C-alpha cells in the first residue's frame, strides 16, 4: 500500500498533467484562429460545388456535340444511300445491311441506338417517287443548352 506521501506525489503529478493539457488547448486556440479555419472550409466547399456544376455543364456540352455529330453522320448517310440506291432507306438498318455504316450510332441522351426517322416521298433520278426516310432525330425530350428539345434537332 502506497504511503500518504506517494499518493500526494501522484496527485500533484496528475494535477500538473491536467494543467499542461488545459494550457496546451488554450495555446492551440491562440495559435490557430478558428475564423480562418471556418473561412477556409467554406471556400473549399464553394469551390467544390462550383467544380461539380462546371463538370456537369461540360458533360452536357460534350453529349450535345456527340449528338450533333451522330445526327450529321446519319443524315449524310441517308443522302448517300438515297443517291446510290435511287430510293430512300425504308429502315435505318438498311444502311447497316448495305454497308453504308458499320452500326447505328448511339444517342448520347437515350443511350440507345434508337432514332426517330421522318418519312416522305423522295424523287429518284428517273422522276419516280419512293417513300422512305429523309430525316432523323433524337428520341430524347430533354432540352439542350439553347432551350430546344433534342428531338427537334
Backbone angles phi, psi at 138, to 5 degrees: -70, 155
pLDDT tens-digit map of 73-127: 999 999 999 989 888 999 999 999 999 999 999 999 999 999 999 999 887 656 6
Q: Which residues, in sequence order, are CB contacts of 1 under 8 Å at separation 6+?
A: none
Q: How far apart are CA 61 and CA 14, in angstroms?
A: 65
**pLDDT > 70 in the chain, percent:** 77
Q: Comparing 30 with 87, which gets the higher pLDDT?
A: 87
Give the Cβ contact number of residue 41 at 10 Å.
Answer: 10
Q: Comparing 20 with 135, which gets the higher pLDDT?
A: 135
Domain residue ranges in the chain: 66-152
Confidence of residue 22 (pLDDT cuts 50, 70, 90): low
Q: How far apart are CA 86 and CA 17, in angstroms?
A: 96
Its pTM stands at 0.66
The DSSP letter of residue 86 is S
Q: How far apart are CA 41 and CA 150, in angstroms?
A: 40
Q: List the single range of 4-8, 35-39, 47-51, 88-92 with lowest mean pLDDT.
A: 4-8
Amino acid at each position: 500500500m502506497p504511503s500518504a506521501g506517494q499518493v500526494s506525489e501522484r496527485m500533484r503529478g496528475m494535477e500538473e498533467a491536467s494543467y499542461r493539457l488545459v494550457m496546451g488547448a488554450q495555446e492551440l486556440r491562440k495559435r490557430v484562429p478558428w475564423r480562418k479555419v471556418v473561412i477556409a472550409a467554406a471556400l473549399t466547399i464553394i469551390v467544390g460545388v462550383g467544380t461539380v456544376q462546371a463538370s456537369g455543364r461540360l458533360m452536357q456540352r460534350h453529349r450535345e456535340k456527340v449528338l450533333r455529330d451522330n445526327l450529321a453522320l446519319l443524315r449524310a448517310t441517308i443522302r448517300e444511300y438515297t443517291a446510290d440506291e435511287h430510293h430512300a432507306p425504308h429502315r435505318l438498318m438498311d444502311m447497316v445491311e448495305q454497308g453504308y455504316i458499320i452500326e447505328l450510332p448511339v444517342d448520347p441522351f437515350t443511350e440507345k441506338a434508337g432514332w426517330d426517322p421522318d418519312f416522305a416521298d423522295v424523287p429518284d433520278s428517273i422522276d419516280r417517287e419512293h417513300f422512305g426516310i429523309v430525316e432523323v432525330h433524337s428520341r430524347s425530350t430533354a432540352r439542350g443548352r439553347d432551350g430546344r428539345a433534342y428531338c427537334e434537332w
